[in-house]
Amino acid sequence: MFTKSINNYYISFVRYIILTIALLLSFNVYSQEVELPALRLSDNFSKSYRVFNTTISDKSLFQQYYNDTNLTLDYVIRYHFYTSINLNSDQNQLISMDGTIFNLSSKNAKNLTDEIISLVSKMYVGRKESMEFKKLNKKID
């Protein structure tokens, strides 16, 4: 009788542990990092990076390669153009280092990246970033 009671307790305990682990793993699978921080910071403005807010919630969409390079979209945005990425936002917009907000019309990760590069290359500080990026990646026009 005593052994049966311990055995039932042990089975209940193991079930509880398995349920807890499964629950924790499910939270980890479904939770996505909301912000991908800028990989470089600029000292030209009080805000040292730009912010890209996007309605895209899946960060893996930014893991595709940019044009014919070996650089991912998120790396291009975050490293070469000093920009953090906020996923799962209400709208697609770029906030410059001086706080100017640009609404973006593109919907997919590739086109949004192109639109950001185009906008940043027209900015005073961004022009230099764009020229350096093009020098590093001669395949990009």
Count of beta carbons in the 10 Å neighbourhood of residue 5: 9
Query: For residue 78, what is the DSSP state?
Result: I
Burial of 54 (0-12, 13-18, 19+ CB in 10 A): buried
**Would you state the pLDDT for residue 22?**
64
Rounded average pLDDT per 10-residue block, the chain, 141 residues: 63 66 56 75 83 96 92 96 96 95 97 96 90 78 48
Q: What residue numbers bound the domain in which 21 lies? A: 1-31
If asked whether residues 83 and 119 sit together in one domain, one would say yes
Whole-angstrom distance, CA of residue 1 vs CA of residue 51: 65
**Would you state the pLDDT for residue 29?**
44
**Would you state the pLDDT for residue 27?**
52
If asked whether residues 5 and 45 sit together in one domain, one would say no
If asked whether residues 23 and 91 sit together in one domain, one would say no
If asked whether residues 5 and 46 sit together in one domain, one would say no
Whole-angstrom distance, CA of residue 94 vs CA of residue 51: 6
If asked whether residues 70 and 96 sit together in one domain, one would say yes
Residue 78 lies in a domain: yes
The count of structural domains within the chain is 2
Please, which residues have CB within 8 angstroms of residue 99's CB and are 6 or more apart in sequence? 47
If asked whether residues 43 and 11 sit together in one domain, one would say no
If asked whether residues 128 and 96 sit together in one domain, one would say yes
Residue 141 lies in a domain: no
Of 107, 102, 7, nearest to 56 by C-alpha is 107
